[in-house]
Amino acid sequence: MDLGWVWVGFEMDFGWVHCSGAAVTSLLCSFPELFSVPVLSLEGPQELLEGSALTLLCATHGNALRPHLSLQHLFYQDGLLVGGPQSAPQHRVPALLLSHSGSYSCQVQTETGSVQKRSAPITITVRRVPVAGVSLHSRPPDAQVLVGDRVVLSCAVAEGTGPLSFSWYRQNHTGVLGSGPLYELPVAQLGDDDHYHCTANNSINTASSPQLHVTVTLPVSNASITVLGTEVGAELVGTAGEELTLSCRVGMGTGQVGFVWLRDGQELSTGPTWHLGVLGPEHAGTYQCVATNSLGSQRVFRARSPEVLLVVTQQGWGQQRAQGEGCGDAAPGLCQPGLCHIVPSLSPSLSPVLAIRLSVFFLVLLAANAVLGWHLRLWFQLGGCHTLGSDDARHTLGTTGLSPGDTHCLLSPSFAAASKSQHRCVQHPAKPPSILRFHPLPP
């Protein structure tokens, strides 16, 4: 059956379309679409972390017959418009939050909105950044302080998002010291010297900082010199031939303490002890120890002990008896031939300075006693003395230094013997004092 020409017309958004035919039994018409159904995709990393950027792409294919067709793009999160309408097919979120997690879709439409097409939804999950790179800092920077100083510790993270919680710990302490990003020691004590660290948590994970040693230093003080654990005074008497070891100790001071030994102001040894070895005259002198400790490399503390005078005496000093002519058993060189004064023997426990002072004291007393005694004897008994003649002078000038015409008094043999056994003599000039010389009395 011939249907003849059939005119079919209908209006589309880009104009009228006409189809014609003749003697047809069926009619097939094709209508090209303006743009395809959009597809929403994620640009960049697929793992979305809190704080990172998000880019969504809404892609569609337009009609080649309408290359200049203007389309609008809209973006939805959980059904709510979050971007557009806009000509750009991308939607950017510069810094993701946990609240950006949800179901996303996009819609493409003509400017008039007569044609609209929506993409299939995609799910986006934003995760928190795990805590990492926890560090511990202090004020002062080296965490080295003196007793009584203030220390502030701070905890920081290089990575990690969300609410952060901090906890503080120390090595030799059980339990948590405190919370928060700061921990303070307002007045540091020796007991605060320890290793500290902090932890950070954001409900995803927990990370810990390296340990930081807080050093609390007490400066050295009250240095002293000891021998066999006993502190010595200003003077130390040692006997030649004996061994001597000096020790230096401090009353207070922490950390690494160093010791330096001085003799007569010159540095000669280091260490807490100084073994002098066998004593000799060369060891005599003034000794002092210097103790040091430090706070870092800039501050050094020193404590000097009192000076100690070391006197080295010969063996048995003060106990030996005099020898020599007219001097009993005194050691050679202590007494010379001639007039000899009688002094009591001194105890070896007395210092040489005290011994000299006592010797001088006894010499003065004995000289005064001798002068008084001789004057009385001359006054009451002149027969105990005689005037030297030329022969006497020749006999005595060599030993006493007396001149002819002087009156010479002699000690009785018994008194001299007693003095020799009970006393010691010290060295005196060969010439006797002038007070022992007497001129003849006038007739």
**Arch. (CATH architecture) of 132-217:** Sandwich (2.60)
- List the alpha helices (DSSP H) in 231-389: 352-380
- List the alpha helices (DSSP H) in 132-180: none
Residue 39 structure tokens: 């597809």
Give dist(CA 328, CA 345) in Å, integer. Answer: 12
| 130 contacts 109 by C-beta, under 8 angstroms | no
pLDDT at 156: 96
| 142-145-149-150 Cα dihedral, nearest 10 degrees | 20
Q: What DSSP designation does 324 have?
A: S
CATH number of 223-313: 2.60.40.10
Give dist(CA 270, CA 263) in Å, integer. Answer: 12
Give dist(CA 318, CA 330) in Å, integer. Answer: 11
Q: Could you tell me how many residues make up the chain? A: 443
CB-based contacts of 312: which residues, under 8 Å, 6+ apart? 238, 239, 240, 279, 280, 281, 283, 284
pLDDT at 296: 81
Give dist(CA 193, CA 179) in Å, integer. Answer: 20
Which residues in the chain are classed under CATH 2.60.40.10?
Answer: 39-127, 132-217, 223-313
| 59-60-61-62 Cα dihedral, nearest 10 degrees | -130
| 209 contacts 198 by C-beta, under 8 angstroms | yes
Phi, psi of 346 (to 5 degrees): -100, 150
For the chain, 443 residues long, give each residue's pLDDT as a single digit of tens: 444 444 444 444 445 455 555 555 566 666 677 888 999 999 877 788 988 899 999 999 876 567 778 899 999 999 999 998 999 999 999 999 999 999 999 999 988 888 899 999 999 999 999 999 999 999 999 999 999 999 999 999 999 988 999 999 999 888 999 999 999 999 999 999 999 999 999 988 999 999 999 999 999 999 999 999 899 999 999 999 999 999 999 999 998 999 999 999 999 999 999 999 999 999 999 999 999 999 888 889 999 999 999 999 987 544 333 333 333 443 333 333 333 333 333 344 444 545 566 666 667 777 777 777 766 666 555 544 344 444 443 443 343 444 444 434 333 333 333 333 333 333 334 444 333 333 343 44
Give dist(CA 323, CA 344) in Å, integer. Answer: 15
Residue type, 441: L
H/E element, 393: helix 390-400
CB-based contacts of 254: which residues, under 8 Å, 6+ apart? 190, 193, 216, 217, 218, 293
Q: What DSSP designation does 434 have?
A: G
Question: Pick from 409, 408, 405: which is nearest to 442 by CA?
Answer: 405
CB-based contacts of 116: which residues, under 8 Å, 6+ apart? 107, 108, 109, 110
CATH number, domain 39-127, options 3.40.640.10, 3.40.50.10860, 2.60.40.10, 2.130.10.10: 2.60.40.10
